[in-house]
Amino acid sequence: MLSRTKSSNLAQSMVTATHRDSSQILKYNPQLDGLRFFAVLFVVTYHWVPAIEHFEYSDFLGGFINFFFVLSSYLITRILFSAKEKSVEAGVAKYKVMIVFLLRRTIRIFPAYYVYLLILLILPVIGDEVRKNAGMYFGYLANYQIFYDQAWQGVTPHLWTLAVEEQFYVFWPFVILFIPQRFLPKAFLLIIILGIILRVIFYQPSHVVTQLILTQYCIDSFAIGALLAYKVTRPASETRIINKCINGLLYLAIPAVIFILVMESHYFSFVIGGLLYSIISMKIIEGAVFGYNGKLGRFLQNKVVVYIGQISYGIYLYHLLVPVLFWRLFDKVYALSHASFPDFFIRNEKWLTRFVNILSSQVSCYILYAVLTIAVAMLSWNLIEKPFFKLKVFASLGKQKSSMDVKRA
């Protein structure tokens, strides 16, 4: 475990190194994986605790998913900034940079996601939704399919976020690579304003599935993450105005969240809820980029916390499927055992009933789901994700290690 001083110096050196040479490889920051731990913990708790999911304004609380969008955008924008500089220095065409970027994203994201879909395809009943709309799910258009159906189907609702991120990966290189660096802050600001305007104009209150799962209503979250990437890679003299704007928005964001909850306004939640979460997420992520000190910094760099953050993709993928499979298997085993040993069940009916009640309690379910989901995520990490990481070496801009080599990006 790093001491508080060493932790602070390490974080500061990562930032100052970026200012010296933003074209170098983006250094791994364990505190970002620590934040992933908290983010995935919130998501699974949101889905595993019925009291939260069935809360009247759960859509607003679910806006915390914007944290993932902001973090992804920050990392991806940093990667593209580095690739952009390297391509200029090496005389590499921008379309080649885009191909390399998309290939590396494919290597990182597709394998585990497609394995999850293939598992659903072979499962009876559970996989009906994927079998029915295979093209939309395999084509990373799940968010539009879910919205079109106006139904959250069993073990696929969470895939909308992965669809949004993949669609972001396709169009974002055009923004970063083809817009001159000095115009990027204005471009990011325009995207933020566009996202707000779209939500103001096209709000429809009658939907069962919120419009917020559609990519066009999430773009401001990605622009906010990009602003953070720009801020930490440019000299302080160039980002003073950005800092003042962000700090001002942050001071407004927290009371605005309270206002939305007190007023019970679905409209304001839809229009600015995600934006507020994105601004707060940006400041949280910025703290990790520069390095949190004290107990929080040490916790974010705890080996267990960092490891869970590293395997959070697998946790996110399987956290809805694991409970469904467990109870289906449990019911079958219980029924088979009851049929095979009826006398035992009659004699111990009281104790067996108590056991089932304890096992099905909310606390027991949460612990059980967590253990099983982490175990499945570990398998995904070691058998699928890590082996495919090695293929990234074949997707680079040249002999030198590519600026896209970012651990856990």
Residue 337 lies in a domain: no
DSSP 320-375: THHHHHHHHHHHHHHHHHHHH-HHHHHHTHHHHHHHHHHHTSHHHHHHHHHHHHHH
Range of the domain at 87: 4-319+361-394
Q: Look at the block and give the residue holding tokens 């103001």.
A: 200
Q: Span 244-273, mean pLDDT? A: 76
Residue 336 lies in a domain: no
What is the per-residue pLDDT across 46-85, written as a single tens digit (0 to 9) for each?
A: 889 887 766 655 555 566 789 999 999 999 999 999 989 8
pLDDT level of residue 13 (50, 70, 90 thresholds): very low
pLDDT level of residue 327 (50, 70, 90 thresholds): very high
Residue 175 lies in a domain: yes
Per the rule left: phi > 0, alpha: psi between -120 and 50, beta: everything else, 154 is left
Q: For residue 340, what are the CA distances in angstroms to 334, 344, 349?
A: 10, 9, 15
Dist. CA 282–CA 284, nearest whole Å: 5
pLDDT level of residue 242 (50, 70, 90 thresholds): confident
More confident residue, 196 or 259: 196
User: By the 8 A CB rule, do 30 and 300 touch?
Assistant: yes
More confident residue, 53 or 253: 253
- H-helix or E-strand containing 22? none
Question: What's the predicted TM-score (pTM) here?
Answer: 0.86
Q: What are the helix and strand counts (H, E) for the chain?
A: 23, 0
Q: How many domains, in total, are found in the chain?
A: 1
Predicted confidence (pLDDT) at residue 1 exceeds the cutoff of 60? no
Residue 55 lies in a domain: yes
Residue 350 lies in a domain: no
Residue 332 lies in a domain: no
Task: Dump strand ranges (E) for 25-180.
Answer: none
Residue 229 lies in a domain: yes
Q: What is the pLDDT of residue 210?
A: 86
Residue 401 lies in a domain: no
Phi, psi of 206 (to 5 degrees): -90, 0
Three-state secondary-structure class, residue 264:
coil
Range from 44-53, 139-148, 285-294, 332-341 carrying the lowest mean pLDDT: 44-53
What is the per-residue pLDDT across 217-236, written as a single tens digit (0 to 9) for each?
A: 999 999 999 999 999 988 87
Predicted confidence (pLDDT) at residue 322 exceeds the cutoff of 90? yes
Which positions ≥6 away from 367 have C-beta within 8 Å? none
